[in-house]
Every structure is written in structure tokens, then in C-alpha cells.
């Protein structure tokens, strides 16, 4: 063997130099072709990290050979001092959106031909989006996740709705999109587009319709708007139509324009948000439950904040009184109704007092007390006082007193007679002594305004007893009760009561604007029970001044030569009526009046009298007459 090696050596030594040169060149070319000619495969991934292990000498001088699709870079440098000697990693990155398939890219020193290394980039199919998320309603204030067939950190994704776009963030095999930036309404439908982009160039991946989840609706609360709460609630709840995942809610104490948050905790149970105060709430105060935000398990939220205002009561307070401040009966039972149930142990006789007479105080039921008046005088003022300390069934005591001042009825009512059909003729009398001023109405049944104005005059006198102190006022508002009930001028016997009085000119047949009325004056003077009763009562009262009300002339007529002349002028001026005192009935009414009540009082009884002809058969216009009526008492 040694000899063979020795022989080969001497043979090679005898070869010409050219042979050596050619051999070296062949070897060098072979090595070059083996190293640089085959294309190295790179499996491209949209997730990134598109690198392979590849030794490259002096990597910083290598450049990508002109290519429109990919860029070749090197990494994992080994340096001598600050000079990179070689790299162990070669990477490719796309210059434009990669197309599925095989792309070849090369790298060489200074981008030339020598030592050029080729790479075959195998690009897989584009990631496919799973759009099942849009097949059901989506939340408007959360992110949605769109699954991809492979992780894609290369492209930019966005959802576009109504020219508004939201960018999506890549995650493992999906993109996450924040739809809250789209400002979508809850419970609505929209057209959408899913776009994929690279370096600003966007293409549509898909399009379709999406529906948003309906908003959370508040369906109830432990308190209602404006409610007054009398017990001591441990917590407050707001109930929604969906199970809650999160919420922001407060209990606020309200004092005028200021609100103060009440310390406490907020919990959720199924569909309810529960606020539990950690401190005792102030009584006699206003509060607001405010649900600012809520999120359900499905991702929907409140359409708008919800709030409800309520009041936390104090102790028991009187809510109503059965009596009015005037016209209280002398033996009336007054019922005080409290705003809440009272304690069973409350002693009302110690906490409710009565002044202005005698009364008995008792508890009627859980919310009411009675004050029974005991024969109080006419027009007697009295006061009921409820002192602090009354306790409710929940143990809450009243801290303020309460009082009610009323007055017993100032007038007395008497029946002065009856009509043909048996209806009572009533008289209302005010004052205990002094000269009498008398007011009469309703002589004609179709003139209901005359009764109405005197009924209102009764109420006015009842409310102001101090204005007629030392005087008497008598009112007979409805003489012809039968005619008023039937709506006729005459009574049930077709007699005009104001033509049935024993004057010197009485006639059975009377004149009217419609001509002669047979028998309207009655069969004889005072043939009618109502006329008899009125005449007898006037004689008994013997008033200093008498006013008789009719309709619809709009005039006031007094008697010439006595006080009624002056009073008629005053009344006409204050009421805005014409004063026709001194004129004949013919000139005033265009027909002659006989057997009238007013003429009888003046001529037969010497009582100063005046007629007030109202301007309406039915409307009283009491406000226009009030000052004139009061003037008649002066």
C-alpha cells in the first residue's frame, strides 16, 4: 500500500501545472454550484417569523436582488469587534400583499450575480375568517372575536359600518375588534364590511348584515318614582330584564340642588342590582337611586342611565282632615287621617289637644283619630293640635307639631214655608243682633242665576263673619223651588209669584213681553203658598233694606225717596249696571208690572227695597257683584 501511494505521488508530481489549475477550477465551480445554485425553501407564515438557518459570510454586504415581492434580511450576527463576520439566520419579509404560491427571491453581495443565493418562498392560502359571530346579535360596547383559519400578524383587519371603521387586533388564530368605536345603537340592524389590508391597500374579505343586542331594560325597582317610604328598608334594588355581569349604581341623598352619595355596597343577584347602605338613612329626606351603567352577561348595556326619586318619611303626620275650615257642625266628628300606621301603643289623648270648646279624642283605626265636638256655639273658632312624639308602627317618631284651625257654622237655617209641591223654602240667617238686611232670589224658576248668586253670597258671609259684626243678614235664595226644578218661570200652578202680592194694582191677568197672561197673577193675592210664606217672613224680619234678584235686564232699581235709592246707585256703580231708579216698569221692561213682591214691600210695608236684574239667566258672575253686596251692609 505504501508503494502505491508513493507511486501516485510521483505520478502527480510529474503532471504539468495547467492540469493543476484546471483541476482546482473544476473543484471551485463544483463547490460554488453546490452552495449557491439550489434554491433554499422558506415556508412562509402569516404569523411572522419567516426565517431559516443559513450561514452567510459578511452579511452586511448582501442585498436583495431586484424583487418586487420580498425582501431578504439576515440576523443572528457573529461579530469581530464591531464588524459582522457572518450570520446564521436568513429571513424574508413581503413588500406587498403576498400571493399564495411559490415566489423566488435572491440575495447576493452588493445585489450582484456572484455568490447569489436563491430562496423559494412557499406562500400558503390566505387566512379565512369565520363569520359565525355575526349570525347572532353582537354587543355594542365590547370587543368581538373573529376566528381565522391561521394566525395573521401580517395583515391589517377592520370592520366598517356606515363609513365608520374600527381596527382589529390580531391574536392567536383570530382578530379582536372593538365595536364600541362604531357608536352602534342597541337593538338595531346594520350593513357591515370586513376589510383586510397591507401597507394601506385594502380588500374586502366579506360583507353582510349584523344585528346588535337589545339594550338592558329596567323592569322594576323596590321603590317607585315619588314614593314616600315609611319603614326602614335594609336595601334597595333595581331589576332588569337580563342577568347582570357588572353595574355602576349609587344611592344619593338630595338636599335642594346638592347630592351626597350614601356609603354602602353594590351587589348583583341574577337580574337585580342591590344597593345596601352601610349607615342609617336620614328621615324626612329625599333620595335618588341612580343606575349609571349596567352590563349583562350577553354584553348588552343600558340604553341610558336610570334613576328613581323617593322620600324617606319622618314620623306620622296628618295627611288630611275631614272638616273644612268653616261651616263645621257644632257636634261634628272630625277625622284626622295620618300618612302612615300608628304604633299600637300610642296614647292619642296625650298627644292631640283641642282648644275653643269641648271635644273627645279617640283612635279610630291604625291610621285615623277622631275629634268629636261637643255642642260648640255657632261661629265658634277652635284649634286641634298634634304634638311631636307620635310614633309609627316602625318606631319612627314625629318631630314637628301640626295644627288645624276651624270654625263652626256661622249661620242658622230655617224653613219659612213650603211650595205647592211640598218643597221647603229655606232661609239662611247670619248674626245674632242688629238691623236686618234681606236678600231674596228665585221668585222666577227660570232665573237660576238669582239663586246661584245668593248661594255664593251665603258662602262669602260664612267665610268672613267679622265683616258683619253687630248686624244681621237674612237670605232666601230659592222662593220658587217648584219652578226651578221644572225650569219654568211660574210655579206648578202656572202663577207668577212676583205678580201674586197684595198691591193696589194686583190683577189676575198680567202683562209680559209676550202679551197678556191669563191667571198668571193667581186667583187672588197671596193665593200661592210660597208667596204667603215669603210675605209672612218679611213681615217678621222687617228688614232695614231688602234686595230682590231677577234676570236678565242688567239694571238696578231702587225706591225714590228712601235709602234704597242711594243703595241702588251704589250697587249699580260697583256692579257696572244701569240704574233705572225712578223710571216706570213700562219704560224699563216695556210692559206694566202688577202685584210685584218689591212694590208690596215698599208701598204696603214701608220696607226700602231694590231690584237687581242680573245679565244672565244661568250665570251668577259673583266676582262682579261681591263688592256691591258687601256695600249693602254698610
- Answer for the pair 57, 78: CB distance below 8 angstroms, yes or no: no
- Answer for the pair 140, 184: CB distance below 8 angstroms, yes or no: yes
pLDDT along the chain (634 residues), means of 10: 64 59 46 55 93 88 84 88 88 92 90 85 94 94 93 95 94 94 94 94 93 95 96 96 94 96 95 95 96 93 94 96 96 97 92 96 96 96 96 94 97 97 98 95 97 98 95 98 97 97 96 92 98 98 98 94 95 97 84 94 96 96 97 97
Quote the cell numbers at residue 609: 227695597
CA gap 70, 156 in Å, rounded? 18
- Answer for the pair 372, 330: CB distance below 8 angstroms, yes or no: no
CA gap 236, 232 in Å, rounded? 11
- pLDDT on residue 143: 92
Residue identified by cell 459582522 is 84
- Answer for the pair 412, 473: CB distance below 8 angstroms, yes or no: no
CA gap 446, 265 in Å, rounded? 73
Q: What whole-number percentage of the chain has pLDDT above 90?
A: 81
- pLDDT on residue 8: 58
- pLDDT on residue 243: 95
Which residue segments constitute the domains of the chain, with CATH numbers given? Answer: 38-123 (no CATH), 131-211 (2.60.40), 218-312 (2.60.40.1220), 318-407 (2.60.40.3710), 412-631 (3.40.630.10)
- pLDDT on residue 63: 86
- pLDDT on residue 27: 46
- Answer for the pair 341, 392: CB distance below 8 angstroms, yes or no: yes
Residue identified by cell 349604581 is 249
Sign of CA dihedral 31, 33, 34, 35: positive
For the packed helices 622-631 and 563-575, what is the interaxial angle rounded to 10 degrees? 150
Inter-CA distances, 597 with 530, 577, 607, Å:
12, 22, 11
- pLDDT on residue 6: 65
Amino acid at each position: 500500500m505504501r508503494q502505491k501511494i508513493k507511486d501516485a505521488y510521483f505520478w502527480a508530481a510529474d503532471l504539468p501545472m495547467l492540469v493543476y489549475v484546471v483541476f482546482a477550477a473544476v473543484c471551485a465551480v463544483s463547490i460554488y454550484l453546490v452552495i449557491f445554485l439550489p434554491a433554499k425553501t422558506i415556508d412562509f407564515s402569516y404569523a411572522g417569523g419567516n426565517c431559516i438557518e443559513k450561514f452567510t459570510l459578511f452579511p452586511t454586504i448582501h442585498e436583495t436582488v431586484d424583487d418586487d415581492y420580498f425582501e431578504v434580511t439576515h440576523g443572528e450576527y457573529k461579530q469581530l469587534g464591531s464588524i459582522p463576520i457572518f450570520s446564521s439566520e436568513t429571513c424574508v419579509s413581503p413588500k406587498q400583499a403576498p400571493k399564495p404560491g411559490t415566489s423566488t427571491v435572491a440575495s447576493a453581495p452588493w445585489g450582484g450575480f456572484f455568490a447569489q443565493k436563491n430562496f423559494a418562498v412557499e406562500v400558503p392560502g390566505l387566512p379565512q375568517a369565520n363569520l359565525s359571530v355575526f349570525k347572532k346579535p353582537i354587543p355594542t360596547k365590547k370587543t368581538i372575536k373573529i376566528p381565522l383559519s391561521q394566525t395573521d400578524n401580517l395583515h391589517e383587519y377592520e370592520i366598517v359600518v356606515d363609513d365608520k371603521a374600527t381596527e382589529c387586533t390580531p391574536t392567536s388564530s383570530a382578530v379582536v375588534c372593538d365595536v364600541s368605536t362604531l357608536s352602534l345603537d342597541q337593538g338595531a340592524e346594520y350593513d357591515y364590511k370586513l376589510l383586510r389590508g397591507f401597507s394601506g391597500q385594502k380588500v374586502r374579505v366579506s360583507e353582510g348584515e349584523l344585528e346588535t343586542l337589545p339594550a338592558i331594560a329596567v323592569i322594576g325597582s323596590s321603590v317607585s318614582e315619588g314614593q314616600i317610604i315609611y319603614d326602614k328598608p335594609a336595601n334597595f334594588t333595581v331589576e332588569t330584564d337580563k342577568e347582570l355581569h357588572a353595574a355602576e349604581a349609587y344611592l344619593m341623598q338630595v338636599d335642594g340642588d346638592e347630592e351626597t352619595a350614601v356609603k354602602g355596597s353594590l351587589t348583583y343577584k341574577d337580574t337585580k342590582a342591590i344597593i345596601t347602605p352601610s349607615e342609617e338613612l336620614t328621615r324626612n329626606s329625599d333620595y335618588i337611586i341612580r343606575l349609571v351603567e349596567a352590563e349583562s352577561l350577553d354584553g348588552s348595556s343600558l340604553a341610558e342611565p336610570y334613576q328613581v326619586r323617593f322620600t324617606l318619611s319622618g314620623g306620622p303626620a296628618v295627611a288630611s282632615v275631614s272638616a273644612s275650615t268653616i261651616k263645621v257642625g257644632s257636634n261634628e266628628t272630625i277625622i284626622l287621617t295620618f300618612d302612615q300606621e300608628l304604633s299600637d301603643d300610642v296614647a292619642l289623648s296625650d298627644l292631640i289637644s283641642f282648644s275653643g270648646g269641648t271635644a273627645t279624642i279617640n283612635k279610630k283605626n291604625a291610621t285615623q283619630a277622631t275629634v268629636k265636638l261637643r255642642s260648640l256655639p255657632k261661629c265658634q273658632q277652635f284649634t286641634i293640635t298634634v304634638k311631636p312624639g307620635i310614633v309609627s308602627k316602625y318606631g319612627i317618631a314625629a318631630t314637628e307639631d301640626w295644627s288645624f284651625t276651624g270654625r263652626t257654622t256661622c249661620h242658622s237655617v230655617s224653613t219659612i214655608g213650603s211650595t205647592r209641591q211640598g218643597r221647603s223654602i229655606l232661609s239662611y240667617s247670619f248674626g245674632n243682633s242688629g238691623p236686618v238686611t234681606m236678600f231674596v232670589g228665585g221668585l222666577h224658576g227660570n232665573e237660576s242665576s238669582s239663586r246661584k248668586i245668593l248661594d255664593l253670597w251665603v258662602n262669602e258671609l260664612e267665610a268672613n263673619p267679622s265683616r258683619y259684626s253687630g248686624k244681621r243678614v237674612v237670605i232666601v235664595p230659592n222662593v220658587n223651588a217648584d219652578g226651578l226644578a221644572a225650569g219654568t218661570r211660574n210655579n206648578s200652578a202656572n202663577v207668577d209669584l212676583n205678580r201674586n202680592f197684595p198691591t193696589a194694582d194686583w190683577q189676575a191677568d198680567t202683562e209680559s213681553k209676550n202679551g197678556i197672561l191669563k191667571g198668571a197673577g193667581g186667583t187672588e193675592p197671596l193665593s200661592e203658598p210660597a208667596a204667603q210664606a215669603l210675605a209672612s217672613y218679611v213681615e217678621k224680619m222687617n228688614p232695614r233694606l231688602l234686595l230682590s234678584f231677577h234676570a236678565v235686564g242688567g239694571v238696578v232699581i231702587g225706591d225714590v225717596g228712601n235709602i234704597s235709592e242711594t243703595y241702588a246707585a251704589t250697587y249699580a256703580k260697583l256692579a257696572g249696571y244701569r240704574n233705572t231708579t225712578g223710571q216706570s216698569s213700562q219704560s224699563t221692561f216695556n210692559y206694566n208690572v202688577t202685584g210685584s213682591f218689591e212694590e208690596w214691600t215698599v208701598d204696603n210695608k214701608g220696607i226700602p227695597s231694590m231690584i237687581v236684574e242680573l245679565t244672565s239667566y244661568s250665570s251668577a258672575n259673583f266676582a262682579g257683584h261681591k263688592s256691591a253686596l258687601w256695600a249693602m251692609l254698610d
